[in-house]
Amino acid sequence: MNGTTAHNKPLFTLDASMQEAYRAPTLQQSSNAQKLFRSGKLVLGASLSYPSRHVAKTVAVSGGDWCWIDAEHVAWSTTQLVECIQVIIHESGGKMVPIVRVPSKTAFDYMAWCLDAGAGGIIIPHIETVEEVKEVIGACRFPPIGHRSFPPFTFINGVTDHTPEGKTIFSLANEHVAIIPQVESRVGIANLEEIASMKEITAMMIGAGDLRLDMGLPLAMVGDEPEFVAAMEKATAMSKKYKLPLVGLAIGPEMLLERIDAGFTVLSVASDFHTLAYGLLQGVGTAKASAEQYLAQKRAA
């Protein structure tokens, strides 16, 4: 890693003191994900797909800056989802910010439950138009910006609702909560500048895999096909033009460096699913190969 981005600015990861700086006044409130993602630092995190409090506890102490909880491709029960959001916050001492990818762009109930539980932001899949983003903003921002409802069962008055002088839990949430549209189609790419220019957008995510499928290309996270390259270059250009962080997945050193060079600053670099799957495959495979070699040597002797 060369320490710079395609934007020619110094790029550094967060340290523990910086992580703490983005915590909310109490752990029941959403951390300042907007400020974190817009910090200009390289924000690295892990993904949680297993609907398990036990796995969430492990992910929470992994040292990541954020946790991408995927509720789009995993059938989470709402109770488990809320509990794991809170596990991530409390087990990490507020240093890891949970960000939830909700099941769909119209899953407004999930958006409310996740934010009321303390999630630092929402990733909204399959966004294609400004009108869709406006509906999400309405659901995720308190008045006067949106119409998010006051969560009556979230805070204990005078105990868990502390805010700095001049702020309320409502104004603070509007400042803290990240709204991240995920663009993953030709239509979305065509409307990318209109979406990226919206004031309430915190960052932008490009769903490379689904975008490639929509383009009729093989499933992959990277590629050199002209249409795909042009779409990724447009995302980089819009990120630079509107000072909008790019969020994405980067598994392995090669993909990580490619994403950094493309201007991505918020990346999920490890996954509970892949870590378990490939860790087990490697462990079992190595043991089998070692045992077979040893037994073969004994037979030969």
Task: Name the pLDDT band for 38 (thresholds 50, 70, 90).
Answer: very high
As given in the structure block, the two tokens for residue 290 are 């070692």
pLDDT for 16 equals: 76
Share above pLDDT 90 across residues of the chain, in percent, rounded to a whole number: 88
Could you tell me which residues come within 8 angstroms of residue 256 by beta carbon, excluding any fewer than 6 positions away?
A: 1, 250, 267, 269
> Mean pLDDT for the chain?
93
Read off the pLDDT of residues 105-141 as tens digits, 9 standing for 90 and up.
999 999 999 999 999 999 999 999 999 999 999 999 9
Each residue's pLDDT tens digit, 178-221 = 999 999 999 999 999 999 999 999 999 999 999 999 999 999 98
Short-list 264, 111, 90, CA closest to 177: 111
Residues near 55 by beta carbon (within 8 Å), at least 6 away in sequence:
48, 272
Is a pLDDT exceeding 80 seen at residue 100? yes
CATH H-level, domain 16-300: superfamily: Phosphoenolpyruvate-binding domains (3.20.20.60)
Per-residue pLDDT band for 11 (boundaries 50, 70, 90) equals low
Any alpha helices (H) in 63-168, and if so which ranges?
Answer: 78-91, 108-116, 130-140
DSSP 26: S
d(CA 60, CA 58): 5
Helix (H, G, I), strand (E, B) or coil at 237: helix
Q: Across residues 32-49, what is the average pLDDT?
A: 95
Q: pLDDT band for position 239 (50/70/90)? A: very high
What mean pLDDT comes out for the span 153-158? 93
Rg (CA), the chain: 21
Cβ neighbors of 122 (< 8 A, separation 6 or more) are: 99, 100, 101, 102, 111, 114, 115, 136, 140, 177, 178, 179, 180
Name the residue with higher pLDDT: 189 or 16.
189
Closest CA to 67 of 251, 275, 270, 279: 270
pLDDT band at 9 (very low <50, low <70, confident <90, very high): low
Question: Is the Cβ–Cβ distance between 46 and 270 less than 8 Å?
Answer: yes
Domain definitions of the chain by residue range: 16-300
Reported pTM: 0.91
- Predicted confidence at residue 20, as pLDDT, reads 80
Does residue 2 register a pLDDT over 60?
no
pLDDT digits (tens, 9 = 90+) for 156-172: 999 999 999 999 999 99
pLDDT band at 92 (very low <50, low <70, confident <90, very high): very high
Position 212 scores a pLDDT of 97
Residues 211-229 pLDDT 10s: 999 999 999 988 999 999 9
